[in-house]
Amino acid sequence: MKRFILLLPFVLTAPLAAQAASVAERFAGFDKNKDGLIAGEEMQAAPFLPKLDLNGDGSLTLEEAEKAVQLADRAKQRKVESPPVGKTGIAEFDNLDKNGDGLLTENEMPQKRWMRFLDQDNNGTVTLAEATEAMARLRRKGATPESPLPAIPADKDPELKEAPIVLKASDHGVGHLVADLALNDSTGHSHQLSERIHGQQGLIIAFFGATCPISGKLGPELARLEKVAQEQKVGMLLVCPVAVETQNDIQTFVTTHGLKSPVVHDQDGRLASALTATTTTEVFLLDAARTLIYRGAINDQYGLGYTKERPNKTYLRDALAAMLAHQAPAIAATTAPGCALDIKPATVVAQTAVTYHHQISRILQANCVECHRKDSIGPFSLETYEDVIENAAMIRKQVERGAMPPWFAASPPEGTHTPWINDSSLSPQDKKDLLTWLASDRPLGQVTDAPQPRSFPKEWAIGTPDAIIQLPKPIAIKAEGTMPYQFVTATTAFAEDRWVQGYEIMPTDRGVVHHVIVQVHPKGSNVRDRGEGTEGYWAAYVPGNAAHIWPTGFAKKLPAGAIVSFQIHYTPNGKKTEDQLRMGLVFAKEKPRYIVHTAAVAHPRLNIPAGAPDHLEVKEQTVPMDMNVMAYMAHMHVRGKAFKFEVTPPGGQSEVLLDIPRYDFNWQLRYDYAQPKFLPRGSQVKITAVFDNSEGNPANPDPTKNIRWGPQTQDEMMIGYFEYYTSNEDVAAR
């Protein structure tokens, strides 16, 4: 590449159309004997001429010069006038660039694994600028040209976030006549669909699930759309396709969001089947002749695994405006992320020997019902056969794509056991049985095979707490969009140190709390928000991970008169509410033999380029003492994609401690060892993270910005938490 940069004085900045003439003129000036070659003494007339000898035969033809000019112009356009890579450990860039096109491909790499690290924009080629920047980052991280590449987490799994996807409209009924179905509304009256449209310019059929979280978030927008439609003489029909939802559930949803339109409870699924509806958030726009104009999502503000402050795409509003202007909408069909509907397939399904009472109920009890039960954090219950049948489509979808049960550590090597005591992933056999049964006629089986029902604590999972610390006053949560992190402190009144064996964090409105980081500060401290536990944390909350009890003999210290700080991430869910969370504590019955601590390896100097889909960051730190590690937790924000913990003991080999190939901001899980892991003093621990700052990440607040460390969701963080224990010298000395 560098030889082509040197050609720039040969052509200066001539426009491409004039370059051929310019090159020919300059070539003729160097070709003194007019033999069509620059050779011999002629090659010594300018220092850059030998660099342009593409075939290395000692002479330069006009064709070679013109090709070199094209390469130089291409290099200039890519703004790679920077110095060549030089001593980088991958050899000279231009030596690797076998075809001289100014780009490196995987086939030109001496080691193909370099491609993944160097190809910053993931387009299959590497420019000089990309290579230079990548090697500079290696040097900043203390690597040398001879060092191996930073360890990259395992190949990333399919993305869990789900945003609306634009569909081919003609494949999904758009432009077709919708059947004139008979509808029974909530007042008991029967009407034909055509009667609902009569005298109107069209009709919006809006599906909703009264207990579906995403439907709840979209409730305020439905109310606004209702008013817009009324002003434009377009009707609206609200359809609840969830058979088991009660009239009280439906009325609560309608009243909460101030909806006035007629409501149809599609208990037999006839309307959903006729429209081939797929989720509880799907909407259908019909014109006055019952022609389907648009189907899909209302907008892209909410999806599976993400929330935006405001929508970027207003699909239904745009389609409505186009219809009223007698135009076809630019986007006429999308998917609609929401709670999946179970539309009966037309083909005959296979039979299976697996039954609900014998296998399925037990699989669900062991893996799902702890959250998916009445008054718990799951969006629907899976305690009964009827519950499972009603939510079969969503169960199948989430299990097939690996979103449920939530567990994101890489699978252990074949033939080995998981090291994690809280591994919640389905076994291969359980997953096979569950999916086979869901794809069958779903036999109930013999009631005599049914397991005993599980029972759960009515309030606190840790039992009745010995003490409760609560936020001093409620925090108001808005209905829509996003909220900045809240930082609140509470002062304890304990006259002496307390040893805490267990805790549970309980929001008063669990539906809006994403996660909580708790810190403990000595009495009289000047407490301020210092970010998300860069020095460790005392307690933490994420959905499904709200409580923890340590074994007997292990505890955390709560100093006398301590100040407790709560950093809380709230996620509005469609209605205004308040939260005044509490933290319950269980005290150890005696001084513990071991003291539990949480340390953090943080990387506040991270720098994520705009648009980068797979940006790698690495941070290393020396272990200052012998550590017995009990658990890990990774923390990033919405651009986080993958995370890995590694250790290299003194004089030893590098070892992967925990690999999270698919990090999910919505499930910041603890990974608890079944047996503690010993890390000797002087070990080097390393955390590696991959960030997706591209437009392909639907949760990305702004892919056009370079992102640095910061406390809010639109910023990023990179923290690897290590929970470990030390001996309590007071007890050990006895």
Could you report the per-residue pLDDT of 566-602, keeping only the tens digit for each? 999 999 999 999 999 999 999 999 999 999 999 999 9
Listed as ranges, residues in the chain with pLDDT below 50 are: 1-19, 76-91, 140-152, 346-349, 734
Tokens of 348: 């005959």
CATH number of 597-732: 2.60.120.230
Query: Which residues face 647 on adjacent strands?
Result: 655, 685
- Which tens digit of pLDDT belongs to each residue from 618-630? 999 999 999 999 9
Residues in the chain: 734
Q: How far apart are CA 295 and CA 273, in angstroms?
A: 14
Q: How far apart are CA 504 and CA 511, in angstroms?
A: 16
Closest of 115, 159, 542, 549 to residue 371, by C-alpha? 542
Whole-number pLDDT of residue 57: 63
Whole-number pLDDT of residue 15: 44
Q: How far apart are CA 220 and CA 237, in angstroms?
A: 16
Instruction: Identify the three-state secondary structure at position 141.
Output: coil
Q: Where are the domains of the chain?
A: 2-140, 169-324, 356-449, 467-592, 597-732
Which CA distances in Å does 263 have to 207, 209, 691?
Answer: 10, 12, 44
Q: How far apart are CA 140 and CA 256, in angstroms?
A: 54
Would you identify the CATH topology of the domain 467-592? Jelly Rolls (2.60.120)
169-324 and 467-592: identical CATH topology: no
| Sequence-distant contacts of 382-388: CB under 8 A, at least 24 apart | 383/453, 385/356, 385/361, 385/444, 386/244, 387/244, 388/356, 388/360, 388/364
Q: How far apart are CA 216 and CA 39, in angstroms?
A: 78
Question: How many C-beta atoms lie closer than 10 Å to residue 72's C-beta?
Answer: 24
* R_g (Cα) of the chain, nearest Å: 31
Which CA distances in Å does 607 have to 85, 115, 692, 707?
Answer: 21, 20, 12, 6
Q: Which residues of 315-326 are buried (b: 16+ CB within 10 A; e: fewer)?
A: bbbebbebbeee
- This prediction's pTM: 0.71
Answer whether 517's CB lies under 8 Å from 540's CB: yes
List Cβ neighbours of 402 (8 Å cut-off, separation of 6 or more). Answer: 157, 158, 160, 662
CATH 3.40.630.10 for domain 169-324:
no
Whole-number pLDDT of residue 82: 37
**What is the DSSP annotation of 454-495?**
P---SS-TT-S-SEEEE-SS-EEE-SSS--PPEEEEEE---S
Tokens of 25: 């003129």
Query: Which residues face 306 on adjacent strands?
Result: 303
Whole-number pLDDT of residue 21: 55
List Cβ neighbours of 652 (8 Å cut-off, separation of 6 or more). Answer: none
- 37-39/59-61 β-pairing: antiparallel
